[in-house]
Amino acid sequence: MPHIDIKAFPRELTEQQKSELAAEMTQLMQKYLQSREGSVSVALSFVPQEQWKTTVWETEIAPQLETLIKQPDYRMS
């Protein structure tokens, strides 16, 4: 039952692009976690750059930095 929660700076994406992104993320979960297509959920939230530090970095990235399977190449002070 994977749930993928994508947070990114705002981008203009069409509904088709969002659908394609979700489909490709679902395929990855099927490939690597042997998930059923119907068990995967995907969320996409856009966070303004000026809110990234307090909304995402401090609450989600920094506290889990050592357990991330891929760390970002930036640090926020």
Q: Is 72 a catalytic residue?
A: no
- DSSP for the chain reads --EEEEEES-----HHHHHHHHHHHHHHHHHHH---GGG-EEEEEE--GGGHIIIIIIIIIGGGGGG-SS--S----
- Among the options 2, 10, 63, 72, which is catalytic? 2
Residue positions annotated with a catalytic role: 2
